[in-house]
Amino acid sequence: MTTFGQRNRNRLKLGGTNVRIPAEWEPHACCWMAWAVHSEWGKARNAVKRELSEVIQTIARYEPVRVLAPRGRELREALREFARCPRITVIEAPVDDIWMRDIAPTFAWRGSGHGQELVAIDWNFNGWGGTIERLPRPGDRLARVASSVFGVPRVSVSFVADGGAMVTDGRDTVITTRSCLLNPNRNPVRRGKDRQRMIETELAKLGVRRVIWLEGDPCEPLTSGHTDGYVLCAPSGVVLVETYDDKGVEPPMWREHDVAILERATSADGRAFKVARVRAPRQRYWTSDADTFAPCYLNSYVSNGAVVGARFGDPQRDAAARRALVKAFPGREIVMLKIDHIADGGGGIHCLTQPMPTMMGG
């Protein structure tokens, strides 16, 4: 076990730097996850832990996993759970939730050539807008202690974002949603300020040359329409988009509009995207009718040798999603796990993970 230390490094200034956010399929040094199942899960906590443990151990088959756990019962529990897993390291840290894609920083490269260094981008996460349904908690600010926990310097931006609200092709293009980043509970309206342009300017300091704005889903509980809930970038300019054709389910209002935007869009390099639709599982196979249930195939983690995603018991749609992932990520094993209890909390496997690129990247 590694203990949460006192190491401290100064926050970096971004002006004039060369920063690049890598693609998910680039090599990883490890994957950061958390063993901190909050009491808000209620009676589902044990089931969530069983699913979480399977996800962690599955990813560890392909790359090292570093599991954060808070001091006390959960730290002891994590040490017991993964004691026989040599590729899993348990680290004590002030974490209180499992959604590492949002509460942890996003890792990026700064500099070029042999002068590259890894940095941690702090998006100023505020607990998905700090709504009354889910008030902000101290663990939401895990990115602020990036130097101590993750061992790399922290850089920050002047706006509020969630890691799951942005996906990238690794070539300086970011896809995000207005429903999330322009939500006043993240970035309030200010007289004389163009919030969209301000965010684009800040992202440019992180090496982003093109931002593609989708409408998202303003009606989605909690996240207000995270991009990683229905969009997954893949190599060779492929963008997978999850769509609905289930008569029993009303699709998000802007979904077809967003598909059309992506079909017309080009990357920062001027390349047209190849949009591939993946149909969501049909409602009759869902295990929950909660508003937060997230039956999403594309909220998957692209590890060093595999794509780890979810299956929902819909034989036709599960198989079609697998075929789409095989085609989009040639050479990687496709592993699909049952995570119905985690999905009932509003997220998927991508939401649980935060990759750290290998020092050979870039």
Residue 315 CB burial class (10 angstroms; 0-12, 13-18, ≥19): exposed
Average pLDDT of the segment spanning 168-190: 97
Q: How much is the mean pLDDT over the chain?
A: 93
Instruction: Note the pLDDT tens digit of each residue in 135-145.
Output: 888 889 999 99
Instruction: Note the pLDDT tens digit of each residue in 210-262.
Output: 999 999 999 998 899 999 999 999 998 999 999 999 988 889 999 999 999 99
Tokens 């100023």 sit on residue? 124
* Those residues with Cβ within 8 angstroms of residue 270's Cβ, 6 or more apart along the chain or in another chain: none
Q: Return d(Cα 317, Cα 180) in angstroms, integer.
A: 28
Asked if residue 249 belongs to a domain, the reply is yes
Host domain of residue 107: 19-357
How many CB atoms are closer than 10 A to CB 362?
18
Q: Is the dihedral of CA 87, 92, 96, 102 positive or negative?
A: negative
Asked if residue 142 belongs to a domain, the reply is yes
Asked if residue 9 belongs to a domain, the reply is no
Tell me: pLDDT of 362 over 90.
Answer: no
Asked if residue 8 belongs to a domain, the reply is no
Average pLDDT of the segment spanning 67-94: 97
Asked if residue 164 belongs to a domain, the reply is yes
CATH number, domain containing residue 84: 3.75.10.10
> For the chain, how many structural domains are there in total?
1
pLDDT of residue 7: 37
Instruction: Note the pLDDT tens digit of each residue in 289-298.
Output: 999 999 999 9
pLDDT grade for 32, boundaries at 50, 70 and 90: very high
Asked if residue 5 belongs to a domain, the reply is no
How many CB atoms are closer than 10 A to CB 243?
15
